[in-house]
């Protein structure tokens, strides 16, 4: 029996692996041209994968992907889901891949679409216009392309301060600008406060930000400051836009936070539709959580099918 898994990050790959082991037929649909999800570009060691000390996010992703491709799992990369409709027994998906449309009938469906960096329309437009404006963490440019520069980071959470420390260690001067109080872990706040290259400002929001050629101009109270780079670290938001392509009657309910609400067994409010990983309202988004939720979703699917 076919089960669609949407998204091939750790949650989707784990779910597909488990579905296969339960004798079901997973069909994975991924919009990117690769599997692995958001951790693929993480150059920091993963602190939460017990048994792999020091291994980076990208190293773990390679291991997961290598195992995944050893399995006989049908995977559609660079595939776009155009519509999802309910049927008497299961769902009908309309997919587009390489300009070709096809229909896929499945008995159940697992959403594992993860999350993406949060931004504002104005900052997103700046990032499209200038490659010196970077939305979200984990880019190759941040990893090794920013040195001896002046960097402005917007945000006050873990990612903002983690990146401030990383960049300060590479000879950059960093100004971090949090709209309110800092919400980052205490150890990050203490480490940043102890470094002369990092200035932490709170209750701070520039009146204007403009990307000029090779320079970012930030204005506060008519005072202009210039930076070489602007990093936007406003946290993450769930990838739920795909739900607009679901028939209204089978659209899973979102929690107040905007994440997909799931029960303990990864069931959503829509019968036959499950969700796993960062797209759900889980308490600790992480690779092990995503892997475990993918497995749990597969088990719940298996139990629900005749
Ligand atoms: C900066 C940062 C640092 C982190 N550090 C750690 C760490 O040290 N340790 C740790 O364990 N975790 C860490 N995490 C968390 C970890 O990355 C996530 O919890 C994990 O990747 C979640 O896996 P996922 O499969 O749910 O989502 P993702 O990894 O986001 O994968 C989702 C997949 O779905 C695909 N997709 C999205 N929309 C669609 C669509 N409409 N159609 C088809 N495919 C779609 C995406 O392309 C992607 O491949 C970190 C996260 C960030 C951002």
Q: What is the DSSP string of 148-187?
A: S-EEEEE--SHHHHHHHHHHHTTT-EEEEEESSS--S-HH
Domains of the chain, CATH where assigned: 2-116+236-304 (3.50.50.60), 119-232 (3.50.50.60)
Distance CA 144, CA 160 (A): 17
pLDDT 10s digits, 66-101? 999 999 899 999 999 999 999 999 999 999 999 999
| pLDDT, averaged across the chain | 95
Task: Give me ligand 1 centre to Cα 285, in Å.
Answer: 9
58 touches 66 (CB < 8 A): no
Instruction: Return the ligand 1 atom nearest residue 7 CA.
Output: 34
Distance CA 216, CA 126 (A): 10
pLDDT 10s digits, 1-17? 999 999 999 999 999 99
Task: Give me ligand 1 centre to Cα 153, in Å.
Answer: 22
Q: In angstroms, how far is the first alpha carbon of the chain from the final one?
A: 10
In the block, residue with structure tokens 């104005």: 122
pLDDT at 143 over 90: no
Give the closest residue (by CA) to ligand 1 atom 49: 37
What pLDDT sits at residue 213?
83
Give mean pLDDT, residues 58-65.
Answer: 97
Distance CA 282, CA 13 (A): 18
pLDDT at 44 over 90: no
Task: Give me ligand 1 centre to Cα 237, in Å.
Answer: 11
pLDDT 10s digits, 221-264? 889 999 999 999 999 999 999 999 999 999 999 999 999 999 99
**Residues at CB less than 6 angstroms from ligand 1:** 6-12, 29-32, 37-39, 42, 44, 46-49, 57, 81, 112-115, 137-138, 159, 239, 242, 277-278, 285-288, 290
Strand 133-135 relative to strand 150-154: parallel, antiparallel, unpaired?
Answer: unpaired
Over pLDDT 90: what percentage of the chain?
91
Q: For residue 139, with 0-12 CB atoms within 10 Å meaning exposed, 13-18 middle and 19 or more buried, which class applies? A: middle
pLDDT confidence bin for 214, thresholds 50/70/90: confident
């Amino acid at each position: 029996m076919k089960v669609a898994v949407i998204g091939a990050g750790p949650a989707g790959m784990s779910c597909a692996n488990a579905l296969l082991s339960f004798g079901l037929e997973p069909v994975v649909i991924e919009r990117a041209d690769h599997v692995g999800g958001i951790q693929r570009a993480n150059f920091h060691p993963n602190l939460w994968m017990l048994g792999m000390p020091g291994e980076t996010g990208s190293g773990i992703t390679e291991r997961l992907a290598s195992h995944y491709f050893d399995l006989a799992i049908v995977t559609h990369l660079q595939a776009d889901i155009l519509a999802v409709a309910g049927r008497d027994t299961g769902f009908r998906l309309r997919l587009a891949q390489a300009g070709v449309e096809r229909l896929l009938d499945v008995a159940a469906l697992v959403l594992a679409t993860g999350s993406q960096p949060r931004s504002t329309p104005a900052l997103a437009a700046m990032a499209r216009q200038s490659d010196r404006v970077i939305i979200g963490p984990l880019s190759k440019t941040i990893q090794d392309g920013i040195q001896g520069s002046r960097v402005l980071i917007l945000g006050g959470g873990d990612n903002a301060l983690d990146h401030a420390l990383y960049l300060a260690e590479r000879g950059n001067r960093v100004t971090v600008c949090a709209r309110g109080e800092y919400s980052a872990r205490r150890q990050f706040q203490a480490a940043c406060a102890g470094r002369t290259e990092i200035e932490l400002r709170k209750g701070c929001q520039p009146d204007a930000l403009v990307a000029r050629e090779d320079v970012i101009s930030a204005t506060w109270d008519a005072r202009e400051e210039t930076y070489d780079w602007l990093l936007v670290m406003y946290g993450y938001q769930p990838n739920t836009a795909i739900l607009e392509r679901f028939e209204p009657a089978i659209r899973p309910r979102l929690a107040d936070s905007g994440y997909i609400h799931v029960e303990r067994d990864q069931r959503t409010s829509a019968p036959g539709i499950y969700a796993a990983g960062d797209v759900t309202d889980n308490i600790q988004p992480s690779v092990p959580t995503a892997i475990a939720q993918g497995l749990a979703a597969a088990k719940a699917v298996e139990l629900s099918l005749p």
